[in-house]
Amino acid sequence: MKKVQGYDSFQRMNYLYQISKYIVDKNPALSSYYGNLIVNVAKKNVLKIHPEIKRQICKKCKCMLVHKTSASMKIKNKNKSKIIEWTCHTCGMKKILPTYKDRDNTVWLERPEAVVEIIS
Ligand SMILES: [Zn+2]
């Protein structure tokens, strides 16, 4: 079986992400702790966090952002385009994500052409 570089770390990050998200409504501080671990594992092994996951982590306290639980989400108008504003309930940090009317709201990594090879 072919192995990807950082395979174990990706598995670990996936596991940490799941607990972090699971625990967030019960204990946001613990969620931040696991969020921090995800970021540290990625940094240490020079790996990229999947954008879908990265969007859900608070920039400041690394808590999982879940609407109406640990954060609130608002859609606002800015310069004729819409933005999504996340406010973290744990630390109060605001995170702004752009939306695109004509383009699909995905980063390059999530598009089909970004997949070079699937290794099972
Ligand atoms: Zn936060």
pLDDT digits (tens, 9 = 90+) for 17-61: 999 999 999 999 999 999 999 999 999 999 999 888 999 999 999
Q: How far is the CA of 75 from the centre of ligand 1 (A)?
A: 19
| Residue 81 belongs to some domain of the structure | yes
Give percent above pLDDT 70 in the chain. 91
Q: How far is the CA of 115 from the centre of ligand 1 (A)?
A: 32
Q: Which pLDDT score is estimated for 2?
A: 67
Residue 112 pLDDT level (bands cut at 50, 70, 90): confident
Residue 120 pLDDT level (bands cut at 50, 70, 90): confident
| Residue 40 belongs to some domain of the structure | yes
Q: How far is the CA of 28 from the centre of ligand 1 (A)?
A: 9
pLDDT at 78 over 70: yes
| Residue 1 belongs to some domain of the structure | no
Q: Which pLDDT score is estimated for 101?
A: 63
Q: How far is the CA of 120 from the centre of ligand 1 (A)?
A: 35
Give the residue numbers spanning the domain of 93: 7-114
Q: In total, how many domains does the chain have?
A: 1
| For the chain, the helix, strand and coil percentages under 3-state DSSP, each to the nearest 5 | 35, 20, 45
| Residue 48 belongs to some domain of the structure | yes
Q: Which pLDDT score is estimated for 11?
A: 93
Q: 5: exposed, middle or buried (C-beta count within 10 Å: 0-12, 13-18, 19+)?
A: exposed
| Residue 66 belongs to some domain of the structure | yes
More confident residue, 102 or 6: 6
Residue 79 pLDDT level (bands cut at 50, 70, 90): confident
